[in-house]
Amino acid sequence: MKFSEMPYKRVTWEEIRETMQGHIQAFTQAEDGEGQYRAYREAMEDMDRFETQMTLASIRNDIHMEDSFYEEEQKYYDEIRPLINNETQKLAALVVSSPYRDVFVQKLGRMAVANMDMFQRSYHEKIVDLVQEENALISRYDKLIASARIDWDGEILNLSLLRKYMTDPDREVRRRACRASSAFLASISDEVDSIYDQMVKNRTEQAKRLGFDNYIPLGYLRMNRSCYGQKQVEEFRRQVKEHIVPLAERLHEERRKDLGVSHLYYCDELVHFAEGDPKPMGTPEEILAGGIRMYEELSPETSEFIHFMMENELFDVLGYKDKKAGGYMTFLPTYQSPFVFANFNGTSGDTDVLTHECGHAFQGYLQRKGTPAERDLTMETAEIHSMSMEFFTEPWMKLFYGDRADDYIKMHLMEAICFIPYGCMVDEFQHIVYANPDMSPKERKAVWSMLEKEYKPHLDYEGDDFLENGGYWQRQGHIFQVPFYYIDYCLAQSCALAFKVKMDEDYKGAWQQYLRLCQAGGKDFVEALAIAELPNPLEEGALARIVGGLEK
């Protein structure tokens, strides 16, 4: 069904509670494992139905954040989501404690049952009030960031649309755009500090009510990390500092030479070439047409996928002033449909939507008819799908960049490598904050400044007080919305870079490995890597080998 034709009707807490309690009763009255599994499966089918309506409301709220109807719907779901989690937590607890647990492992897979185990340990009715408050704080932050109305020579821009000028070939234009962005963020900084301070204390209290010393172990449970923990992540970050940071700094020096400047400043952070970075040619409609051709030619599977997406209006990618910043892929279970949301802004980020978000959507399309357990995957595995697709689509970049396709490919590889230190910085910042929840806003900003010197020593903010005093993290939505998510990007980017090395040696063979990965639902990170024959970046020496392949 076309997205515009998908009917929306609010699902109420009373309806969801009654339905779920009926399934829980059926589960407890079942006489064997098959009966319990049937009750569980029927509950998940109903949750898919409910989730579809909630996702429709969320997407339509994001598309027009000034639409009062969907704003109210989103507020309602923010309030009842913790209550829903509480009901599904009860069902998960029944599964993991069932004498027929092996039946569920056999039918759903080890990871699905492990996820239920982590879920029932990470939610309880005793924290419902806190989770409701947390959801409201996230919505406050999102709305505050989306409220940017930056006057640019008479044109009113939000942060996403301003990015076009932050990558302008003219250094003075970039400098002015960076200062405009910073000025807006500085103007809301005290309120953002207040929101985040409340979030940290809220999440810490959730953890303590559930029996944890601080939020870190609870955050790991909510990220469904069953095959590695905090110590492995710390070791990964150490390897990044040892192997990736020096490579990234060499690339920044190469970028300085390409730009023809004597010193890099923050206003140069997003650009690579003196003549300007390559920008996609044509209108948004022409860019989408290029995407159709690219996926038609890449493989039979991607051809079928892209036509499904276009015919059903499953892209909303144009940027405008009341649209939520950023981009994502989500899924509408009732319609077995991925959906891609983004903000085209005239930069290379527009084609990144057609590669990165479509990598997510392609995997969702391949798994669209599966059960929730078969569709399920961990966040870092999901990001391998998207980040690797960025590299697999490089042979078609001439469609978008013409004779500057090679410049784009070089820029993209440099950005992929240089992202990893930044992503690790976001992760380490959060670990420090949640280990020390009573830090003041000023102390948190000091931690960010310290980490910038370790992970991005080339940074020079050119006297911008807000950024020099550690304010940049306030625009990183993941820190507020999904604690501890960001390291998943770093792990996945390491795997995507391993795919890049593989595809330069044997493109067709690498694609078949990627296809197997996308078709393998219900696997944890380590299991997925084995299926794709990829190195595990959490293991000692893996990053050194990947860097060696890249340097060649």
Block means of pLDDT (10 residues each) for the chain, length 552 residues? 97 97 97 96 96 97 93 94 90 95 93 91 92 93 92 92 91 97 97 98 98 97 93 96 96 96 96 92 89 96 97 89 86 96 83 92 93 84 95 97 96 96 98 98 98 97 96 96 95 96 94 94 90 94 92 83
Q: What is the DSSP letter of 243?
A: I
**Is-contact 326 142, C-beta < 8 A?**
no
Q: At what angle do helices 284-298 and 300-311 cross, to 10 degrees?
A: 150
**What are 176-184's contacts with CB under 8 Å, separation 24+?**
177/152, 177/267, 178/266, 178/267, 178/464, 179/464, 180/150, 180/152, 181/150, 181/475, 182/464, 182/466, 182/467, 182/471, 183/466, 184/148, 184/150, 184/159
Q: What is the pLDDT of residue 173?
A: 96
The CA distances from residue 397 to 270, 340, 347, 394, in Å, are: 20, 20, 14, 5
Classify 520 as helix, strand or coil: coil
Q: What is the pLDDT of residue 285?
A: 85
Residue type, 458: H
Q: What is the pLDDT of residue 373?
A: 79
Q: What is the pLDDT of residue 423?
A: 97
What residue has token string 């006489």?
31
Distance CA 254, CA 268 (A): 13
What pairs with residue 151 in β-bridges?
156
Distance CA 464, CA 441 (A): 18
Q: What is the pLDDT of residue 161?
A: 86
Q: What is the pLDDT of residue 370?
A: 83
pTM: 0.88
